[in-house]
């Protein structure tokens, strides 16, 4: 007799929104103990979302779970919306691997330990999850506007350089941060693979896929953003928490910063999947200390994968 098919339950959620079919979709495999790494990659490719998460028992019983994160083409050490969404799923379920899940969650990930705080409303319903980026801020090479512009289908004059040139930055996952001068320029942006490939080759030491986070200011503490990651098979991402965290941390290095600054990142508008990401940056003695991102999540689907 052929072996019985394995079935693996999953749920999907939309993250950084309180409305279904907005925000950034995420698939969560709540019990991945029977899956190999290659099987996880295959499942992530099948979903085709920017990321899919796989929940495993923690290595340290003091933590909540180990979480592995896969794009359609590769595993990544950290990402924002997968943590926000996965924490929401586990906190809503109330337990994982027979252990209760409270309002303080700790995920073991390749980038380090990720700490999540859960907020609840009436009846104990999860209303928001907030995560602290797992890594210190690292700043890499800067890129001239002339070199960056063809990579995103814009003119060099569309890129604002008064505050900073395009630059590699990370608090767990690396992005190129690019300020553009207007919403109109942001709307015209379009990634170009050939120039991006040349850029990636020129900056091999950054060990980066040149995921590019474009933003423009629309208020004193409000930015609109877009993120392109063609080498990760993500043409455009509707919400990128890890990039928003990197931006907030980086901005804190550009001049005198208050002890705490809150920034709202609005993303996904051009895709019809508006997302709202809260970014809170704290500094100590004028130096960057930590960054957290927060947002809402809404359940969409659940089912089983047959293997």
User: Is 51 part of the annotated catalytic residue set?
Assistant: yes
Kindly name the residue from 46, 51, 184, 260 that is annotated as catalytic: 51
3-class secondary structure for the chain? CCCCCCEEEEEEEEECCCCCCCCEEEEEECCCCCCCHHHHHHHHHHHCCCCEEEEECCCCCCCCEEEEEECCCCEECCCHHHHHHHHHHHHHHCEECCEECCCEEEEEECCEEEEEEEEECHHHCEEEEEEECCCCCEEEEECCHHHHHHHHCCCHHHECCCCCCCEEEECCCEEEEEEECCHHHHHHCCCCHHHHHHHHHHCHHHCCCCCEEEEEEEECCEEEEEEEEHHHCEEEECCCHHHHHHHHHHHCCCCCCCCEEEEEEEECHHHCCCEEEEEEEEEECCEEEEEEEEECEEEEEEEEEEC
Active site members: 51
């Amino acid at each position: 007799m052929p072996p019985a098919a394995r079935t693996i339950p999953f749920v999907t959620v939309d993250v950084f929104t309180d409305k279904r079919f907005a925000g950034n979709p995420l698939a969560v495999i709540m019990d991945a103990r029977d899956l190999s790494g290659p099987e996880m990659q295959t499942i992530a490719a099948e979903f085709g979302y920017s990321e899919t998460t796989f929940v495993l028992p923690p290595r340290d019983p003091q933590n909540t779970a180990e979480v592995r994160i896969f794009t359609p083409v590769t595993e990544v050490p950290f990402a924002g919306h997968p943590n926000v969404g996965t924490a929401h799923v586990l906190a809503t379920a109330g337990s994982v691997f027979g252990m209760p899940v409270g309002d303080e969650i700790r995920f073991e990930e390749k980038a380090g330990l990720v700490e999540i705080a859960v907020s609840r409303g009436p009846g104990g319903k999860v209303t928001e999850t907030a995560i602290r980026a797992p890594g210190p801020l690292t700043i890499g090479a800067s890129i001239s506007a002339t070199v960056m512009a063809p990579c995103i289908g814009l003119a060099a004059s569309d890129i604002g350089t008064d505050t900073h040139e395009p630059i590699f930055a990370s608090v767990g996952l690396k992005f190129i941060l690019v300020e553009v001068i207007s919403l109109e320029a942001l709307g015209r942006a379009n990634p170009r693979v050939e120039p991006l490939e040349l850029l990636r080759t020129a900056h091999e030491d950054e060990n980066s896929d040149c995921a590019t986070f474009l933003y423009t200011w629309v208020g004193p503490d409000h930015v609109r953003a877009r993120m392109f990651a063609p080498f990760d098979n993500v043409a455009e991402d509707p919400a990128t928490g890890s990039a928003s965290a990197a931006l907030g941390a980086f901005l804190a290095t550009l001049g005198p910063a208050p002890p705490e600054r809150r920034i709202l990142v609005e993303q996904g508008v051009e895709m019809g999947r508006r997302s709202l990401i809260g970014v809170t940056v704290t500094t100590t003695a004028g130096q960057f200390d930590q960054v957290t991102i927060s947002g809402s999540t809404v359940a969409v689907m659940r089912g089983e994968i047959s293997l």
